[in-house]
Structure formats: structure tokens, C-alpha cells
């Protein structure tokens, strides 16, 4: 059966999945977990562009256990290896971004997040 799957983000933190085929339609709603912080709020020293918002959202979804492993004493190469989501060109793999995020911006924002949450 050929299915066309559509996902919609609705207000109040719900995601609605709809799969429609020739023979039947399947609909499912899932409750999303609300973010711990308002990552769309501009923070001192950041541009507040779409990339900044996506980077803060990336850290918001990072498990606390992983974030607690981070050490500011690590080299840039150790940070890249620890995160395991950097591209070969040295920038973070983030979707829907206007610009690249290098390891220096990554560390600066991550350390702000850790400071904010502690």
C-alpha cells in the first residue's frame, strides 16, 4: 500500500501524524515535551538568528547525562568527538540554519546553557 505521511506541529505541544493510503487513513496524535527554557529568547552576545535558536534547541534536547560529561578543559577535537554530530568540514550538523556553527560557537553557547541550568 502506498502511504503519504504528513506531520503537523499543532499548538499546545502536540504533533499530529497522518498517513493516508488508497485503502485507509491512519491518524495519531503525540504529546511533545515542552522545552525547559525559552531558547527563542535572545541572549547576550548572540545574534538571535534562526541558527542561534536552533543551536539552543539542540542543547535543550541533549540528555542531561551527556551534558554533565562536558569539560571546558577539553580540546576542540575532544568536543567534536564527544558530540559526534560535527561534519567533516568542522561545523555542527544542524538542520534549517542560515549559517554554520563551528566548535568555538558551540562551546560558548553550551557553556552558557550549563551555567543557566546549574
Global pTM reads 0.65
For 15-74, the pLDDT digits (tens) are 444 444 444 445 554 554 544 555 556 555 566 788 988 898 898 889 989 988 999 999
* CA–CA gap between residue 92 and residue 102 (Å, rounded): 6
Write the CB contacts of 107 (distance below 8 Å, at least 6 apart in sequence).
72, 76, 79
The answer to whether the CB of 16 falls within 8 A of the CB of 26 is: no
29 vs 96, which has greater pLDDT? Answer: 96
pLDDT category, 77, cuts 50, 70, 90?
A: very high
Sequence ranges of the domains in the chain: 1-34, 50-117
Phi/psi zone of residue 84: left (φ > 0), alpha (ψ -120 to 50 degrees), beta? left
* CA–CA gap between residue 73 and residue 54 (Å, rounded): 25
Amino acid at each position: 500500500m502506498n502511504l503519504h505521511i504528513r506531520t503537523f506541529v499543532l499548538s499546545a505541544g502536540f504533533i499530529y501524524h497522518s498517513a493516508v493510503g488508497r485503502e485507509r487513513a491512519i491518524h495519531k496524535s503525540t504529546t511533545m515535551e515542552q522545552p525547559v527554557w525559552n531558547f527563542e529568547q535572545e541572549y547576550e552576545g548572540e545574534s538571535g538568528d534562526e541558527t542561534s535558536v536552533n543551536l539552543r534547541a539542540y542543547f535543550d534536547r541533549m540528555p542531561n547525562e551527556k551534558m554533565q560529561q562536558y569539560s571546558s578543559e577539553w580540546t576542540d577535537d575532544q568536543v567534536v568527538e564527544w558530540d559526534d554530530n560535527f561534519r567533516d568540514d568542522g561545523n555542527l550538523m544542524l538542520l534549517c540554519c542560515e549559517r554554520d556553527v563551528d566548535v568555538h560557537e558551540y562551546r560558548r553557547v553550551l557553556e552558557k546553557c550549563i551555567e543557566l541550568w546549574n
